[in-house]
Amino acid sequence: MKPKSVTILGPQRLRPNLIEAVRARGVTGRIATVTAGWQEREDEDRELHEHLEGRTVNLRLYHRAEALFAADPELRDVLRERQTRLQEQQRLYRLRLGFALQAARELLAVSGDPSLLEIQRASAVQAVRALDEQHLQQVVEINAGYEEQLRIQDRPPVAAGRRELAALLSETSAVAIAGGHVAVLLNRLRLFGLDSLLRGKDLFVWSAGAMACSDRVVLFHDSPPQGAGDPEVLEAGLGLFPDLVPLPHARHRLLLYDRDRVALFAQRFAPALCVALDEECRIEWDGRRWRGLPPTTHLTPEGSVEEFEAVAAEEE
């Protein structure tokens, strides 16, 4: 079930603009918040509560999940096993990805006969795209296998938790999903089936919250402390909005002046738009199309970073 509308924001810690987006949507009722990505600090939401004029109710998905695992140890153990298997899948994918990206980058940087070079460049990018798709399909199959084994929705503690959340959400008109640890956040959102409870709600997401709600979760950092980074697909997201790769803190994590890296990133995930989400950025989805507000930008297949258009993408 899709939300009524989706608003994606830049990071909220330094220059929050969430309340402006809430007012622009005309939201006047209570707002459910999800801070599960903060893990043990989930309840440290005073600033968020005050920023939203004291209208929030924290769904406490992280703490609910911990209580659920205590009540259902089998569920906890099997989900840990699944996570271990997913981590191994990610390790193997990452090994292949490094070689595929190296070939694509070298071909983008080299000069030569354009009639030959363009074919090889396109083929190298397609090889990366195919590897991403294969990995994502394997991740989906792993998740599906464990869900079938566990029959999560039928387990009494899970069913009870979902009923409680449905009751809370029935008293709110919007949901705001914050950032933090994206895998932890995504797992909690899935566990409680939050995506199925958002119909008719205005949804506001940022940072890891935006990543978890997208079609696929893409991890990225061009200059991590441990060396050169390769953007990698982690998971299938909740799919609450189409054809968009959110890139929180893009100015700090991506070498946006490197045209070859920018071009490869955009070509790799096309036709999805790769949107740079820094402070004060905002884009809106009304169920049919995106609308971007300055200073939001997006990466182009030609290697430039351009202002997000008023209408940048439309669902088919």
Taking only the tens place, the pLDDT of each residue in 241-292 is 988 999 999 999 999 999 999 999 999 999 999 999 999 999 998 778 888 8
Other Cβ atoms within 10 Å of 137 Cβ, number: 11
Q: pTM here?
A: 0.93
Rg (CA), the chain: 20
CA atoms of 7 and 122, how far apart (whole Å): 34
CA atoms of 308 and 274, how far apart (whole Å): 10
Q: Copy the structure tokens of residue 248.
A: 């929180």
What lies within 8 Å, CB to CB, of 244 at 6+ separation is 8, 214, 215, 272, 273, 275, 283, 290, 313
Strand 56-58 and strand 31-34: pairing?
parallel
Q: Which residues pair with 248 in a beta bridge?
A: 277
What sign has the CA pseudo-torsion 3, 271, 231, 91?
positive
Q: Which residues pair with 306 in a beta bridge?
A: 298
Residue 314 predicted with pLDDT over 80 = no
Of 57-61, 132-136, 231-235, 241-245, which range is least confident? 241-245
Task: Give 40-84 pLDDT, tens digit per residue.
Answer: 999 999 999 999 999 999 999 999 999 999 999 999 999 999 999
> Phi/psi class of residue 273: alpha, beta or left (left: φ > 0; alpha: ψ in -120 to 50)?
beta
Task: Give 159-169 pLDDT, tens digit per residue.
Answer: 999 999 999 99
Cβ(241)–Cβ(216) below 8 Å:
no
Q: Is 207 exposed, middle or buried (0-12, 13-18, 19+ CB in 10 A)?
A: buried
The pLDDT value recorded for residue 1 is 65
3 residue type, one letter: P
Residue 20 predicted with pLDDT over 90 = yes
Cβ(281)–Cβ(9) below 8 Å:
yes
Q: C-alpha angle with apex 167: 165 to 173, nearest 5 degrees?
A: 90
Task: Give 137-163 pLDDT, tens digit per residue.
Answer: 999 999 999 988 888 888 999 999 999
CA atoms of 9 and 293, how far apart (whole Å): 10
Question: What percent of the chain has a predicted confidence (pLDDT) above 70?
Answer: 97
Residue with tokens 């506001």: 204
When the pLDDT of each residue in the chain is averaged and rounded to a whole number, the result is: 93
The pLDDT value recorded for residue 288 is 80
Q: Which residues pair with 285 in a beta bridge?
A: 6, 290
Cβ(43)–Cβ(186) below 8 Å:
no
